[in-house]
Chain A
Amino acid sequence: MQKIRVIIAKPGLDGHDRGAKVIARALRDAGMEVIYTGLRQTPEQIVSAALQEDADAIGLSILSGAHLHICPRVMELLREKGLNDVLVVVGGIIPDVDIPKLNAIGIKGIFLPGTPMQEIVDFITRNTRSRVGT
């Protein structure tokens, strides 16, 4: 069985990486191949990592309020590179009113503070299955 490959990225200037690291470890413990990019990644760097690593999914951790600037740029670059089937999920502090805006650009998985790790593992597994073919 092919492992699901996930990029976990911290875009923007924020350094609060507790959530990103805990999630990275939970996904790894759940049997996924996890590539953690580290801090301060531009949308260009994140998409280029996804291309190089042949990622099935990208998880963006954003707590600073910059999500409406960063997420559309990531989605646009993914389209440009023909990576339309890469699942993008976002975790962090996202106000309720912004959720439909993120949904509208193709981000289906939005995980707010307090989300159980298992829920995120299940979501990624379910939504990458067709691509991974298991």
Chain B
Amino acid sequence: MKTASPPARISHERRGSFTTISGRPINELYTPADIASLDYARDLGDPGDFPYTRGIHANGYRGKLWTMRQFAGFGTPEETNRRYKQLLKAGGTGLSVAFDLPTLMGRDPDHELSLGEVGKCGVNVTSLADMETLFNGIDLGGITTSMTINSPASMIFAMYLVVAEKQGVAWESLSGTIQNDILKEFIAQKEYIYPPRQSMRLITDVFVFCAERVPRWNTISISGYHIREAGATAAQELAFTLRDGIEYVQYGVDAGLDVDAFAPRLSFFFNSHSDFFEEIAKYRAARRIWAHVMRDRFKARNPRSWQLRFHTQTAGVSLTAQQPYNNVVRTALQAMAAVLGGTQSLHTNSLDEALALPTEEAATLALRTQQIIAHETGVANLVDPLGGSYFIEKLTSDLEEETLAYFDTIDRMGGMVPAIENGYPQREIAESAYKFQQAVEQRDKIIVGVNAFVTDEEEPIGILYIDETTAERQLANLNRLRQTRDNGRVRAALDALAEGARGSANTMPLLVEAVRAYATIGEMCDALREVWGEYEETPII
């Protein structure tokens, strides 16, 4: 009798490469052999235990769900104040302020570069008067506020402190976050004003000031989000962000602070891109790397200094203008990755954000996406559900290894500030961005609705239009302010600020005084521009 020959092994594979969105080759199968060197107690630990690979809380989301913190702001302070009051009425307990470009760049609305930009990408805040309007009727002692502001972070923070003071709320009880991360501005988003070293001084001034006066405030949100959006791979996002973190801690220590006095107030902000498993592994690797950095490199003793806490935003860059409803699906999957990775808070993008700022309807759908993940899918019932997966653990270790190799390179350059001055991370990111674009052009990477499954005729969706009268109204307010305030007091406060910047005084109390006098953001930033100059990058393409 003739025996049947064994069935031929099917060797046919789909065309195209099996790589992550970052270009990382992926094997067909992962087995125990891939994680043979992994030691559970040493490399993973239970959730809540060093090195926190599986999470910083022993019971994950069973104790508290992640914070659903949706970023919002547009037009005048009056308009945004109305939106915030609606959000709080709907049960929100936290606000997240989006500022417009003039505010982010420390320019008044009457500066020539503010042309067409006032109130467009966020709310315009020119002086304390605008900040008072923005938080009018909102008790700063009863909410937490996150403010996405970097170069003029200390000016905006000073305005927030003075509004609290006027409301009778003690600074010691204030809670919230300022992004205050200038290094990623030089690397990626490019909203810088002063040269790197002077910018770092402003940040350490905030660390020192808050350690003494505003102890519950999160002084920085060290951000990989923008690094990723600019084109970095997952490993580059992780490496540059955490190396930025090391730079900030080093500057704080060099400024004379005890590491445990400020490290527990550091927080991180990551992207959640479309490659599902790579993103989950990225968050797990981030926690493990940071725990070791803080304990072993900086000798921190407080476990809170070892624990990496982070906010996540889904990847704006992955959203397409074509077939915009597909973006709901992308965002949902990205949000799921962030939750499986153990994020502390999350912003989900709206389906229309490749076209404009979100409509209220689109923003609501984005929030509903998080609520469905939290309450319907069951993923929040247990901690780190993918821990122990051969693939996830191998990816986590690989990302850690690549990150540590980048740390070595940057350490050899003398740290992140010199690396930035040499254009190193900028070059690495530009290279990755171009490679990805070429992969899309060659259809090695598929983007549904863009280079595949294209629809000929698309029905346009309704988008949000920003009222063009915002600039006029802000300009009128500014002119009125300049006529009614005590200009002698403003001049004296700005002179004192410039004098302090020339020496080594902490700039925060000087800024608080200038804010009390109703100096504008442009005036305060100009006072420092005159002393420190402005940064100009050598563009790398």
Contacts and interface: CB of A to CB of B under 8 A. Distances in A.
Given A39-B190, A64-B101, A114-B322, A13 B354 contact: no
Nearest to B101: A13
Given A18-B231, A114-B447, A95 B189 contact: no
Contacts of A70: 115-116
A3 to B, nearest CB: 16
A125 interface: no
Interface stretch (A22-30, A47-55, A77-85, A100-108): A22-30
A17 B231 contact: no
B120 A42 contact: no
B101 A14 contact: yes
Nearest to B464: A95
A82 B96 CA distance: 48
A126 interface: no
Contact of B437 (A26, A40, A68): A26
B466 A22 contact: no
Interface stretch (B105-113, B159-167, B236-244, B268-276): B105-113
Given A25-B434, A64-B120, A95-B355, A116 B114 contact: no
A69 B115 contact: yes
Contact of B433 (A15, A21, A68): A21
Contacts of A39: 190, 537, 539
B113 A13 contact: yes
B428 to A, nearest CB: 13
B189 A15 contact: yes
Interface in B424-477: 430, 433-434, 437, 441, 447, 450-451, 460, 463, 465-466
Interface in A39-80: 39-40, 42, 64-70, 73
Given A24-B541, A42-B113, A69-B115, A13 B320 contact: no
B537 A66 contact: no
A68 B537 contact: no
Nearest to A94: B355
Nearest to A114: B450
Nearest to A63: B121
B116 A93 contact: no
Nearest to B353: A93
Contacts of A66: 115-117, 120
Interface in B230-250: 230-231
B321 A113 contact: yes
Contacts of B433: 18, 21-22
Contacts, number: 107
A42 B101 CA distance: 15
A36 B114 CA distance: 22
B140 interface: no
A12 interface: yes
Given A13-B107, A64-B121, A66-B120, A21 B115 contact: no
B116 A12 contact: yes
Contacts of B320: 113-114
Nearest to A67: B116
Interface in B313-353: 317, 320-322
B466 to A, nearest CB: 6
Q: Describe A's contact surface by its main secondary structure.
A: loop
A117 B437 contact: yes
A38 interface: yes
Nearest to A43: B115
Nearest to A40: B113
B116 A15 contact: no
Interface in B40-98: none
B101 A95 contact: no
A16 interface: yes
A68 B430 CA distance: 29
Contacts of A114: 320-322, 447, 450
A65 B120 contact: yes
Contacts of A73: 115
Interface in B173-227: 185, 189-192
B115 A15 contact: no
B441 A25 contact: no
B102 A21 contact: no
B513 interface: no
Contacts of A64: 101, 116-117, 120-121
A112 interface: yes
Nearest to B460: A96
A66 B534 CA distance: 23
A96 B441 CA distance: 24
A12 to B, nearest CB: 6
Interface of B: 101-102, 104-105, 107, 112-117, 120-121, 185, 189-192, 229-231, 317, 320-322, 354-356, 430, 433-434, 437, 441, 447, 450-451, 460, 463, 465-466, 536-537, 539-541
Interface of A: 12-18, 21-22, 24-26, 28, 34, 36-40, 42, 64-70, 73, 93, 95-96, 112-114, 116-118
17 contacts: A12-B113, A12-B115, A12-B116, A13-B102, A14-B101, A15-B185, A18-B231, A21-B539, A22-B434, A34-B541, A38-B539, A39-B190, A65-B466, A73-B115, A95-B355, A96-B460, A117-B437
Task: Give 9 closest A-B pairs by Cβ, nearest first.
Answer: A15-B190, A69-B116, A66-B116, A13-B101, A65-B120, A38-B539, A114-B450, A113-B321, A24-B541
Given A12-B116, A25-B434, A73-B115, 15 more contacts: A14-B101, A16-B229, A17-B190, A17-B539, A18-B229, A18-B317, A25-B541, A40-B113, A64-B121, A66-B115, A93-B355, A95-B355, A96-B460, A113-B321, A114-B447
